[in-house]
Structure 1
Amino acid sequence: MAMQADEIEALIRGAIPDAQIEITDLAGDGDHYAARVVSESFRGKPRVMQQRAVYAALGGRMGGELHALQLTTGIPE
């Protein structure tokens, strides 16, 4: 079962409330998305820790409901 972009955004926002989130459906199939997540909570954390926080927010849905996620993270400018 595929996920909708708004479901992905809601999961991320639930874990990272201050995040600026952009979700793009790359293939139009609900399985392949790109996400850009920017949050002040990422400041001082290496990119791998930022991305782990986003994957943790998805609660194990990667590889199941969500097949692929091209993820970009960062801090506000």
Structure 2
Amino acid sequence: MAKWKTPENYKYSESDEWYHVDGETVTMGITDYAQDQLSDIVYVELPEVGASLNAGDSLGVVESVKAASDVYSIVGGE
């Protein structure tokens, strides 16, 4: 059994972000692998509700006991 989940209906970036489309809603996050590499996550900074993002924009920051990492939008939208 694989250590990390990688659902087939999700789209992935080379920098360990993913997105999933459900109707008109897109959900984005970081892969299980990225979470494992960061270890214990202690803080997450997200954009304001309704903010417009372009593909490649920083959509937030994930901070762990090991490091802080930007998370990038891999699709554009509001």
TM-score, with structure 1 as normaliser: 0.32
Q: Which has the higher helix share?
A: 1
Higher relative contact order (CA 8 A, sep 6+): 1
Q: What's the TM-score once normalised by structure 2's chain length?
A: 0.32
Of Structure 1 and Structure 2, the greater strand share is in 2
Larger of the two Rg values belongs to structure: 2
